[in-house]
Structures are given as structure tokens and as C-alpha cells.
Amino acid sequence: MAYSPWHQQSSQLAFAAHELNTPLMLMKHYAELIKESKGHQKQKFAEAIETLSAELLQSSQFMLQSFSADTSSNGLGINIADTINERFELFMPLLKEKHISFENQVSPHLYSQVPASSFSIVFNNLIGNALKFTPKHGSITLKNHSRIIQVLDTAPAIVPSEQQLIFEAFQKAASAQSHSGFGLGLHICSEVIDNWGGKIWLKSYPEQGNQFSFTIPNP
């Protein structure tokens, strides 16, 4: 099906708004924390805002590149477990606010040549979704089996009939209809991971939660 220029432009604008949403939301949260904090804690929150500002610049550069995933690499590779820990530090205030526990079980010896900027896009979307839909006192766990990364949460399970649909643009699971958002996050993850040469899929377990898995290329 061919899309009109108006539809393509609208899709790009929605993509831009979606990718800016998470860092801006976190920056707003840290700004509120700065007003209530002193000393070392205030410095720590200010550094978080500085990191998120840099991420916004990265996102804008990503979007200027015709909305395609960055496939370049600095040749050094990234340590996946360390990168996850760095990213989770930024989400920590929101995790604490909902009393959600987090555990990173990814091997400290797992490396990949995927660009840190596009890995952050995948991470922000998957963890942002997990945070949004996991109820208070729930949990989020990351682990790996060889070169498969798994994100497990205790959010309501997604029914089988919707498990492929949610990876399409502007599609949301029935349980997500009451939440704000464009229905773009998982589609963006799918596009970026496909650009790496990998794939993403979902398994859901009633009364337990969801398991999003994706592959990363060899180092």
C-alpha cells in the first residue's frame, strides 16, 4: 500500500514526538527532584539532566538521518550489561516512585558492535513500556541467553491475538488503550533491531507477565 506524503510526514512527526518523549519526561522528573534536594544529591540530579540533554541531541541527529537507524559503529563495541546499568540509573527515580524492583542478569562479558545510540532507543522503548504497564511493587528483569536479550516484566499479559500486531506502527494492545502514546515504541524497536540484522519477539504468560526478547549481532 502506498502512503501519501501527508501520511508519511505525519508518521515522521509522530516518530519524532515519541522519541523525544522519554528523555523529556525524565528531565522534567529530575528538575522536580533538584528543587527538593541539596548538596551531592542535587549535583547527581543535575548530571542526569546533562546526560539526558545529550541524549536529546542524539535523538535529533537520528531523526535528521531520514528516520533510519544508525548502523555506524566506533569499532570499540559496547558492553551490554554496563550499558544497561548506565541506562537504568536514569530511570531509577521512576522505578522508586512505583516501587518496582529491577535486576540486571545480563552477562558482564557480552559485547556487541551495535551503536550505543540505537541500543539506547531500543532500551528506552522497552523499559519505558515495562515501567508504564507494570503495576506498583512489580519487577523488571533483564537477562541473556547467548546473544538473545530478554526483558521480563510483571505487567498484564498481552493476549496471543495481539502479540504480532503490537510491532506494527500506530498499534496498541487492548490493555494499553487507556494509556497515552502513539503505539510506536515497539515498531521503532523492531525497525532498529531489523537494521542490526536481528529480530524481536514476545511471549506472554497469564498472571505472570511478558517477556520481550531480541537478538544482537556478533561482536
Residues 111 and 75: beta-carbon distance below 8 Å: no
Enumerate the β-bridge partners of residue 202: 212
Task: Let me know if 147 is exposed, middle or buried by CB neighbors in 10 A (0-12, 13-18, 19+).
Answer: middle
- Cα–Cα distance, 91 to 68 (Å, whole number): 26
Query: What is the residue extent of each domain of the chain?
Result: 5-215
Torsion sign across C-alpha atoms 3, 174, 180, 93 = negative
Amino acid at 82: D
Q: Are 200 and 168 contacting, i.e. CB atoms less than 8 angstroms apart? A: no
Task: Determine the topology of domain 5-215 in CATH.
Answer: Heat Shock Protein 90 (3.30.565)
DSSP state of 38: -
| pLDDT tens track, the chain, 219 positions | 444 443 344 445 455 555 566 666 666 666 767 766 776 677 676 666 666 666 665 555 555 443 444 444 555 589 999 999 988 888 888 898 899 999 999 999 999 999 888 898 899 889 988 998 999 999 999 999 999 999 999 999 998 888 888 888 655 554 444 444 445 788 888 988 998 999 999 999 999 999 999 999 887
In this prediction, residue 187 carries a pLDDT of 84
pLDDT at residue 182, rounded to an integer: 42
pLDDT at residue 170, rounded to an integer: 56
pTM, full prediction: 0.67
Rounded Cα distance between 170 and 166, Å, is 8
Question: Are the C-beta atoms of 189 and 142 separated by less than 8 Å?
Answer: no
